[in-house]
Structures are given as C-alpha cells and as structure tokens.
Amino acid sequence: MTQRLNITNGDSAAGTLSEAGIEGKIISWRDVLHEGPVDSSLSLEELSKQRARFIAERRWDDFTHVSGDFAERDRVTQHLDYFDEIVLWFEDDLYDQLQLIQLLDFLGSSTARKKKTLSLIQVDGYIPPLSAAKLKELDEKRSRVTPEQLDLARRTWQAFGSDDPATIEALLDEKTSALPYLASALSRHLEEFPAVGTGLSRSEREALTAIDEGHKTPVAAFLEVAKKQESIFLGDIVFYSYLERLSGNKNALVTWTDGTAVVSPSSERSREFVDGELKLTPLGREVLAGRRDWQTINTESRWLGGVEIRPGGTGWRWDPTERALTREPAEKTKSRKSSPRPTAKKAKPRKASRVAAKKVKPRTAAKRSTRKKK
C-alpha cells in the first residue's frame, strides 16, 4: 500500500484534511514567511532556527514551542524513506505561496525525494471551508509537480530570500503560469515595501485609513483591512504588531484614545486590547496624507524576506502609481553583506497583467484570524 505524506499551511487546514479522511500522515508548515528575515541561502535547519528566533522575539509564540514544532516538521520532510508520495496542499495567497515555494525548493533538491512522487493541490480560496467530498475530489485530481514548477519555485525562493528585491520584479516579467497564483502573491509582497511619498507599506496605510474612517477597535480595523485584500493572507497577530510599530513610544501615528501607546496583546490583557479604541495622532494624519514620510520618522527596522528595510529616507520603495520598485538615492545604504550598491533608478513598469493582483471574491477574515494556527 502506498504511504503518503501530506503537507499543508497550518493546523486548521491539517485538521480539515484529517476530518475528511485524506489518506496518509498530515503535517503543518505554519511559518509566516511574509514577515521577518528569510535568508534563502541557509539550510532548512538553520533557516528554521532563524525563523523561530524572530517569531519568539515578536512574542507571537514561545521559542521552545515554535522551534520544537519546526524541528519536528523538518525531521519528517528530511526523512522520507517511509513515504512513497508527498502531496502539497496550499492556497492562493501570499502566506501559502511562500510556504509552497520553500517546500518545492527544498524537495526539488532533496536526495531523499528523488524516487518519490511529488504532487500538488492548489486551492483558490480556503481549505477549511471545503467539504469532505470536495477535498476528496481535489485529491483524486491532484497533479504531479513538473520540472517547470520546481525550477520556477527554486528561482523565486532564491529571489525572495536575497537582499535585492529587483530580482522578484524580474521574475514577474517572466511567464509564471506554472504556478498560477505566484505572480499575484509576489506583487502583494512588493506592496509591503515603503511607499514613495508616505513611507507606509500597503498594510500600514490601510490600517491607518480604516481607523481614520471609524473602524476604531483593533478587531474592526483588522476586518476592514482584510476586506481590501484580493486574497487574504494577513493574520490578526501580525496585524496587531503593525499597530504596535505605528504607535511606539515617540512620534506615534496611532494610539489608544487616551494617548497611550498600542502594545500587542498578551494572554493576560487580550480582552482589554480587542475592546479598546484607537485614534490617529496629528502626525499620523500628516503621514497618511503624504505630507510626512514615515520612514524618516520610524526608528525600527523591518525585514521583508531577504531585505532589511532600515529607517531613513534611502533604500527600496514601492511606487504605487507606476506599480514598481524604485530605489531612493542610497550612497550610505549597504546590503546585508555590507557591499555597496550603485544608486538605482526607477524600475521599468511591468505590464499591468503581471502586476495587478488577481481579483477574487473577498473572503471572511475571521476564518484566518491567526495564520500560524491556520
């Protein structure tokens, strides 16, 4: 009898597959790769340690717990002797597509996988709401992973984990139909770079806009931002960390209505957090209007894949009008390896069909409120 390993995005999807009677062992990948450092040159074990440290530093999980989960996940994927087939179950959004290209990159180069069947099931939407009958139908129609898919995933994973995001733009100028949801996911990733003019990422701009329009509690703002997404990828825990970054101790863009700083919720004060009301500061309104640049005010670095976005007026920016990356004059900006970069010019705008995110029917954000438990 064929022994199968099923890998999916998180615990909720894994539970759904198990309840539907999907054959074989089922494991969750869990990592929120769209936030924090990702060095694609690292081995799976070393990258898992890097990711676990970041998640623990952000207070999204305990280091011992998350590192243990990652170690067990990695152990299974590195020792495949028991399995004849590996089936990957992933959705269309940024959260899932990054996990998918990481796995395809790893499995494509794994000697332990060479004689195994590798199959892929991609869902346009969420896995958990699907019926058992629909999941079994998808399972029966699963397709073999092709060399073209492995090659595209390998090159995309390398680009995502490098310190030059222009390599992602270059991929978007190529044909990416081998992985049909990848282009829209990568375009959404690029929108998280600080925007020309405001210095805000798309998520930060939408959060401030939601609060300014009257969605004043953290939950209300989160749900309003989720409605704006072509494919929902952002979980509430990460969203609340954005509010904390925008608040800070000095030069806050958003605070509680009493003027105190927003701090991401803990188990001890979660009710106080979700019931509290937020407000924009005068500075927040100035930044949202484009009269001040958040990157020249903010003092905290942010990592997007392999790119460290340092505070200041230089570095990579997203031009929402041209829908392309540009690089502000960066004589003092250095790469992660401290090698100087030339001053970059604005990237050539990509064709609209490659740039615009795929339009889909908005989905209920509450179903994906905590993506690491997905």
Reported as a single tens digit per residue, the pLDDT across 135-178 is 999 999 999 999 999 999 999 999 999 999 999 999 999 999 99
- How does pLDDT run across 23-33, given as a tens digit for each residue? 999 999 999 99
Q: How confident is the model at residue 266 (pLDDT cuts 50, 70, 90)?
A: low
The whole-number pLDDT of residue 125 equals 94
Asked if residue 100 lies in contact with residue 127, where contact means CB atoms within 8 angstroms, the answer is no
Both tokens assigned to 338: 């401290």
Of the candidate ranges 205-209, 226-230, 272-276, 356-360, the one whose mean pLDDT is the lowest: 356-360
Asked if residue 127 lies in contact with residue 270, where contact means CB atoms within 8 angstroms, the answer is no
Pairwise pLDDT comparison (348 vs 81), residue with the higher score: 81
Both tokens assigned to 219: 């939950």
Q: How confident is the model at residue 269 (pLDDT cuts 50, 70, 90)?
A: low
What percent of the chain lies above the pLDDT cut of 70?
86
- The overall average pLDDT reported for the chain is 88
Asked if residue 326 lies in contact with residue 344, where contact means CB atoms within 8 angstroms, the answer is yes
Residues 6+ apart with CB under 8 A from 73: 27, 28, 29, 30, 48
Rounded Cα distance between 231 and 218, Å, is 20
**Highest averaged pLDDT of the listed ranges 127-141, 243-257, 348-362:** 127-141
* Bridge partners for 328 per DSSP: 315
What percent of the chain lies above the pLDDT cut of 90?
79
Is it true that domain 4-181 has CATH number 3.40.1360.10? yes
Rounded Cα distance between 104 and 119, Å, is 10
Q: How confident is the model at residue 264 (pLDDT cuts 50, 70, 90)?
A: confident
Asked if residue 119 lies in contact with residue 142, where contact means CB atoms within 8 angstroms, the answer is yes
Residue 365 has pLDDT above 60, yes or no: no
Closest CA to 356 of 241, 230, 268: 230
Closest CA to 73 of 31, 127, 12, 134: 31
DSSP-assigned states of every residue in 338-349: --B-PPPPPPPP
- How does pLDDT run across 85-115, given as a tens digit for each residue? 999 999 999 999 999 999 999 999 877 677 8
- Residue written as tokens 């270059």? 170
The whole-number pLDDT of residue 267 equals 53
List the helix and strand counts (H, then E) for the chain.
Answer: 14, 12
Both tokens assigned to 196: 């020309």
Asked if residue 80 lies in contact with residue 1, where contact means CB atoms within 8 angstroms, the answer is no
For the chain, how are helix, strand and coil distributed in percent, rounded to 5? 40, 15, 45
Query: Strand, helix or coil at 26?
Result: strand
pTM: 0.88
Rounded Cα distance between 233 and 113, Å, is 29
Closest CA to 347 of 155, 156, 165: 165
Residues 6+ apart with CB under 8 A from 124: 91, 92, 181, 360
The whole-number pLDDT of residue 246 equals 97
CB atoms within 10 A of CB 167: 15
* Bridge partners for 317 per DSSP: 326
Question: Across residues 330-350, what is the average pLDDT?
Answer: 40
Question: Across residues 266-273, what is the average pLDDT?
Answer: 69
- In sequence order, what E strands does 161-311 have? 254-256, 278-280, 302-305, 307-309
Residue 21 has pLDDT above 90, yes or no: yes
